[in-house]
Structure 1
Amino acid sequence: MTFNDNRGNGPMAGSTVDVTINLTGRPDLRQVRAAMTEALLPGAEPDDRFGAVLLVVDELVGNAYRHARSPKWLRAGRTSENVLVEVNDGDAVAGAVRVVALRYGLRLVGQLSLDWGVRTDSRGKVVWALVPVKVFPAEL
């Protein structure tokens, strides 16, 4: 799998699916999950391979709703092996995210992801996670 020049910045190179969901009206998390499931698996029944992705979506969107004044968007780019999940919350403060990760739900994001991080730009903060697509529990 390849990324663009700035890991976690923008759509994933080679994505088979790219979806963006507007969070400015704070849609219900169930609606966000349903839209993400339909985008990742168009016309198919929900698939266990995406359970970790949906947990990461819940945590990142939930954090944006709880801690940011103006959540902006959720974006996901999928390849056959991974999903890059990004949430822009419109808040420019990124420093506290890693500290909070030691105690709360971002710890789960770290356990379910290959990598995750935070970046800021002129539009605010983006928290991203690269989640493998696999069946849980993993086969032994």
Structure 2
Amino acid sequence: MTTPRPDQILNARMSLTGGPESASWARSQVRLMLDGTSPESVHRTLLVVDELIRDAERHRERVTEIRIALNREAVRLHLELDAAATGGVPLPATPEEIADGRLLLEQVPMDWGVRTAGGIRTVWVVLELSR
């Protein structure tokens, strides 16, 4: 595996204050960052971002930060979303919401995982994009 040239890596860190306007702003920033990739890649990535934000909201977590590293050479996106517990009781998900989230994860080719440290849950995703 070769190391990508520094000019081919685009990094972004977005701190969010909470609320629906934060999620909307984050999506618009992700969309801007993906300029030059295929409309399908942008659409898939935004679906994943939406699902991660909705999942945090269902768990009564507040999304505090989103980090993105876009490798333009390999056309690969690494996204991390941090969410902090708010102390509220998680919202029960309907069977439809659970099925929709699982269907999305099965349809979008990606690697993903979760890690927790210091009360922050971080969900990471790696997506292959197309130009």
Q: TM-score, normalised by structure 1?
A: 0.65
- Show structure 1 runs of 4+ deviating over 6 A: none
Aligned counterparts of 2:103 and 2:126: Cα–Cα separation in 1:
14
Q: Say which of 33, 38, 41 aligns to 1:39.
A: 33
Amino acid at match of 2:59: H
Q: How does 1:125-140 map to 2 (within 5 A)?
A: 125-134=121-130
What is the match of residue 26 of structure 1?
19
Q: How many residues align?
A: 114
- 1:88 paired to 2:88: no
Structure with greater helix share of residues: 2
Amino acid at match of 1:57: V
Aligned counterparts of 1:23 and 1:66: Cα–Cα separation in 2:
17
Give the unaligned 5+ runs of structure 1.
3-13, 92-99, 136-140
Aligned counterparts of 1:20 and 1:113: Cα–Cα separation in 2:
24
Q: Deviations over 1:1-26 (max 9, x none)?
A: 68xxxxxxxxxxx6611112222323
Structure with greater strand share of residues: 2
What is the match of residue 44 of structure 2?
52
Amino acid at match of 2:120: G
**Closer/same/farther in 2, CA of residues 107 and 89 from structure 1, 3 Å limit:** farther
**Closer/same/farther in 2, CA of residues 129 and 110 from structure 1, 3 Å limit:** farther
1:115 to partner: Cα distance: 0.9
Q: TM-score, normalised by structure 2?
A: 0.68
**Bigger CA radius of gyration:** 2
- 1:108 paired to 2:101: no
Give the unaligned 5+ runs of structure 2.
86-94
Query: Does the aligned pair in 2 maintain the 1:59–1:109 contact within 8 Å?
Result: no
1:62 to partner: Cα distance: 2.0
